[in-house]
Amino acid sequence: MIGLVIKSVGNLYTVKSDNLLYKCNYRGKNKLDNNFSNPIVSGDEVEFDLIDKENGIIDRVLERTNCFIKRSLKDKKAHIIASNVDQALIIASFKNPYTKLNFIDKCIAGSFYYNISPIIVFNKVDSLSNREIKKLDDIIKIYNEINIKALKISAKKNLYIEELEYILKGKKTLLLGNSGVGKSTLINKISKVSNQKTDVLSSKTGRGKQTTTFSEIFEIDISGTVTDTPGFKDFYFFDIDKSSLQFLYPEFKMRDKCKFKNCLHKDEPGCSIKESLGIEVNEKRYNNYLSILSEIT
Ligand SMILES: Nc1nc2c(ncn2[C@@H]2O[C@H](COP(=O)(O)OP(=O)(O)O)[C@@H](O)[C@H]2O)c(=O)[nH]1
Ligand SMILES: [Mg+2]
Ligand SMILES: [Zn+2]
């Protein structure tokens, strides 16, 4: 049978097929598995055999259209966050907690690399003072100027949620964000079911919510899906190399004018990106580019 993995907790997968749910394990042991800390992820289409009415065994993963990969800090292997998605919603928060722009920029670059359109929302706008909102608007402008959708919302107070739902409608969206930014709160607002299941499952495995490898797909009320992922504070790229990073910056269009063909736009002479600082290229974005570049080995 063929089905869609809608939830993964450790080595246990929930597979949906013809509107029925099956609990499945994975049998496959192909060579690919060695590079990945998790061979299967929510969003995967899989072929599986039934053991009984409710349980099955996954034989193989069908080819993915895309997947978002980070490097696992534990074993340096690839950790797939989700697969087969249209867009990534980067959920940030200006206060409690403060999301670093460096993290947002890393999520954007990763999304572009894996052919996923990035969108940014700043949640918890209800808790900001007018002065803070003004500061946030300046940040939002940075992204809007390079044609990346960025908006502010309040999941708790229902502010601008309709605007967001319009963006999510009919799409498969991956949620990215630090923990505590309001992913679960948002999902409860826009999806057909509340996410109480997360708690049930993590208590079953006896592991804390934070440490369980976990992703789950929720259906949005008005159509479309969102994939919840464990919040992570920071992450490292798995397969993006130094020379590719610049192509993930839409505003670096003038890179062809650099003196050196292999310019990394760090401190090379005649660098057109450095000459564009404060004009086409925002300095904060550029500084984060340098910091992300230095992390890549
Ligand atoms: N003030 C405010 N608090 C929020 C908002 N959305 C979520 N929170 C709070 O932020 C905390 C973390 O939210 P949660 O949804 O669990 O975050 P997650 O870790 O990203 O899933 C909870 O105490 C929420 O009530 C919001 O729009 N405004
Ligand atoms: Mg959560
Ligand atoms: Zn350059």
pLDDT tens per residue, range 21-64: 999 999 865 545 667 788 899 999 999 999 999 999 999 999 99
Model pLDDT, residue 289:
98
| HSE value, Cβ hemisphere, 13 Å, CA-based, for 131 | 0
CATH number for the domain harbouring residue 199: 3.40.50.300
The reply to whether ligand 1 has any atom less than 6 angstroms from the CB of 164 is: no
pLDDT at 198: 37
Pocket test for ligand 1, best of 98, 103, 156, 226 (most atoms within 8 A of CB): 156
- In the chain, % helix, strand, coil (3-state, to 5) comes to 30, 30, 40
Residue 207 has pLDDT above 60, yes or no: no
Does 187 share its domain with 72? yes
Long-range contact pairs involving 75-79 (C-beta distance under 8 Å, separation at least 24): 75/37, 77/35, 77/36, 77/37, 78/35, 78/36, 78/37, 78/238, 78/239, 79/36, 79/37, 79/38, 79/238
> Of 61, 76, 107, which residue is a domain's last?
61
166 is written with which tokens?
A: 């319009």
Is the bond preceding residue 250 a cis peptide, omega within 30 degrees? no
pLDDT the model gives residue 27:
80
Using an 8 Å Cβ cutoff, are 159 and 165 in contact? no
Instruction: Domain of residue 21: give its range.
Output: 2-61
Span from the CA of 159 to the centroid of ligand 1 (angstroms): 13
pLDDT of 34 reads 67
Does 194 share its domain with 284? Answer: no
CA distance 148 to 250: 9
Q: State whether the beta carbon of 231 lies less than 6 angstroms from ligand 1.
A: yes
Domain stops at, among 11, 45, 61: 61
Examine the domain organization and report whether 150 and 267 are in the same domain. no
Band (230; pLDDT cuts 50, 70, 90): confident
pLDDT category, 213, cuts 50, 70, 90?
low
pLDDT at residue 211 is higher than 50: no
In a shared domain, residues 164 and 93: yes
Q: How far, in Å, CA of 14 to CA of 216, rounded?
A: 9
pLDDT on residue 196 = 41
Region at 223 (left for phi over 0; alpha for psi -120 to 50; beta for the rest)? left
Indicate which ligand has the atom closest to the C-alpha of 265. 3
Mean pLDDT highest for which of 5-9, 69-73, 202-206? 5-9
Q: Which residue among 90, 107, 185, 198 has the greatest number of ligand 1 atoms within 8 angstroms of its CB, and so is best to mutate?
A: 185
Q: Give residue 297's pLDDT.
A: 83
The pLDDT of residue 194 is 62
Both 179 and 207 in one domain: the answer is yes
Write out pLDDT tens, residues 90-131. 999 999 999 999 999 999 999 999 999 999 999 999 999 999
**pLDDT: which is higher, 147 or 231:** 147
What pairs with residue 55 in β-bridges? 23
Mark whether 95 and 210 lie in a shared domain.
yes
Q: Which atom of ligand 1 is nearest to the CA of 159?
A: 27
Specify whether 232 is located in the same domain as 247: no
Ligand 2 (ion): which residues have CB within 5 A? 183-184
**What's the pLDDT at 28?**
65
Mean pLDDT computed over every residue of the chain: 90
What's the CA gap between 213 and 179, in Å, rounded?
14
The CATH number of the domain holding residue 274 is 1.10.40.50
The pLDDT of residue 232 is 78
Q: Are residues 198 and 116 in the same domain?
A: yes
Report how far ligand 2's centroid is from the alpha carbon of 102 (Å): 21
Do 246 and 223 fall into the same domain?
no
Residues making up the chain, counted from first to last: 297
Is the CB of residue 199 below 6 angstroms from any atom belonging to ligand 1? no
- Share above pLDDT 70 across residues of the chain, in percent, rounded to a whole number: 91
Nearest bound ligand to the CA of residue 270 = 3
How confident is the model over 269-284, as a mean pLDDT? 97
Residues 114 and 194 both lie in one domain: yes
The whole-number average pLDDT for the span 163-171 is 98
Q: Is the pLDDT of residue 159 over 90?
A: yes
126 lines ligand 1 (CB under 6 A): yes
| Ligand 3 centroid, distance to 57 Cα (angstroms) | 51
Decide if pLDDT at 203 tops 60: no
What was the pLDDT predicted at 118? Answer: 98
The predicted pLDDT at position 73 comes to 74
pLDDT at 127: 97
